[in-house]
């Protein structure tokens, strides 16, 4: 199987190069998500698909509150105890909070040109898998 990372190819990747692009737990760290999605669309072949697996927004209110409490209070403490690095775990919680919710990311993918965009909530929305196609 031939693999190449988008990071390595940046502007060197030709249009319509890849059959499939996947990104897992990385899009939330991208500063300009719209630009990244447009670039992914550009390098996909017609008929290709993009799969985005990313932390998202819980869809059950009690879980949402518990998840926030865990992410912002418990997780940094665990990071401090285990890795002596509370800041990285605090960043993780903040980056998840700042990442677009499921419907917003779906719209962003559509705005970048993707069609038949849908998503599947996993663990009640703590994680979501988005899928879009280039036709």
**Residue 103: which CATH number?**
3.40.50.150
In this structure, the answer to whether residues 79 and 92 fall within a common structural domain is yes
Q: Say what the pLDDT of residue 126 is.
A: 97
Tens digits of per-residue pLDDT, 68-113?
999 999 999 999 999 999 999 999 999 999 999 999 999 999 999 9
Least confident range from 1-10, 59-68, 122-131: namely 1-10
Tens digits of per-residue pLDDT, 5-62?
555 665 578 999 999 999 999 999 999 999 999 999 999 999 999 999 999 999 999 9
CB 116, CB 133: distance < 8 Å:
yes
Mean pLDDT computed over 131-135: 99
In this structure, the answer to whether residues 20 and 79 fall within a common structural domain is no
- The answer as to whether 8 is a domain residue is no
Alpha helices in the chain (DSSP H): 6-9, 33-43, 61-69, 75-83, 86-98, 102-111
In this structure, the answer to whether residues 93 and 103 fall within a common structural domain is no
pTM: predicted TM-score of the whole model, two decimal places:
0.89
Helix, coil or strand: residue 1: coil
What is the rounded average pLDDT for all residues in the chain? 93
In this structure, the answer to whether residues 51 and 114 fall within a common structural domain is yes
């Amino acid at each position: 199987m031939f693999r190449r990372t988008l990071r390595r190819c940046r502007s060197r990747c030709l249009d319509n190069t890849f059959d499939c692009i996947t990104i897992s737990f990385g899009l939330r760290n991208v500063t300009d998500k719209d630009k990244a999605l447009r670039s992914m669309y550009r390098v996909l072949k017609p008929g290709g698909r993009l799969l985005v697996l990313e932390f998202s927004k819980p869809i059950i209110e009690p879980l949402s509150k518990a998840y926030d409490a865990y992410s912002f209070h418990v997780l940094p403490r665990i990071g401090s105890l285990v890795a002596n690095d509370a800041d990285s775990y605090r960043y993780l919680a903040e980056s998840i909070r700042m990442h677009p919710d499921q419907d917003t990311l779906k719209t962003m993918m559509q705005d970048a040109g993707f069609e038949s965009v849908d998503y599947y909530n996993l663990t009640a929305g703590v994680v979501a898998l988005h899928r879009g196609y280039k036709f």
